[in-house]
Amino acid sequence: EVVLTQSPGTLSLSPGESATLSCWASQSVRDNHLAWYQQKPGQAPRLLIYGASSRATGIPDRFSGSGSGTDFTLTISRLEPEDSAMYYCQHYANSPRTFGQGTKVEIK
Amino acid sequence: QVQLVESGGGVVQPGRSLRLSCAASGFTFSRYGMHWVRQAPGKGLEWVAVTSFDGENRFYAESVKGRVTISRDNTKRILYLQMNSLRDDDTGVYYCAKESSGWYGYFDYWGQGTQVTVSS
């Protein structure tokens, strides 16, 4: 089983700043089958990034993903108040399709 | 547009059973893998189970293996999750999610979830 560890647990930043979220895998993720999701309170998760670096349809270019193998990063540039949410990484290389424990992004 | 609508949640006593449903529309249901993902109160996302596009391949999280069965009816465009021997820690919101491909894809669409509460 691939264990995903996200860091930091919480990020508190001001509008206009950049957020860097990390996701480490316990073993190499085949073909960089790594996705990022955003979840706001009371809502279902929403796909942001797939294939480690490809933005999903309708996602602003302020969101970017990078990384390969075991180290992955989600960067949110020019933070806006609406970016306040939980962010989860997930691999889809095999089963079980595990999620990281999440990073909470707070906008001051 | 793609729509996934879960139903079947509710309050159930420990040890009892529940069957969740997810009605799909807006895409060719029979071509895509489908998943169940749950979220305990105040906790993160936990992947539960997957069925391949044709229902031939199914995998489960260790936490539910032996108690849960995922299935699908491609004619009716419905995904199911049969949950037996329910425990307190099965409480949470259960989401169905569509895979981007027939197998090993990311989750491109999610339903709004159905609440399951296991309590005596």
Q: What is the pLDDT of residues A22-55, one digit of tens each?
A: 999 999 999 999 999 999 999 999 999 999 999 9
For residue A56, list chain B residues with Cβ-Cβ distance below 8 A: 108
In tens, the pLDDT along A64-92 reads 999 999 999 999 999 999 999 999 999 99
> What pLDDT is attached to residue B45?
98
Integer Cα distance of B43 and B31 in angstroms: 32
- Tell me which residues of chain B have a C-beta less than 8 Å from any C-beta of chain A: 35, 37, 44-47, 50, 59-62, 95, 99-100, 104-113
Does the pLDDT value for residue B57 go beyond 80?
Answer: yes
Mean pLDDT across B21-33: 96
For residue A90, list chain B residues with Cβ-Cβ distance below 8 A: 45, 47, 106-107
CA distance readout (Å), A92 to A17, A88, B53: 30, 13, 15
Integer Cα distance of A48 and A26 in angstroms: 22
Q: Contact at 8 Å (CB) between A107 and A13?
A: yes
Query: B117: which 2 tokens?
Result: 């509460």
CB contact under 8 A, A47 and B106: yes
In 3D space, the residue among B19, B17, B10, B36 whose CA is nearest the CA of residue B87 turns out to be B17
In tens, the pLDDT along B77-114 reads 999 999 999 999 999 999 999 999 877 899 999 999 99
Q: Left (φ > 0), alpha (ψ -120 to 50) or beta: where does B67 sit?
A: alpha
Nearest to A97 among B50, B62, B111 (CB): B50
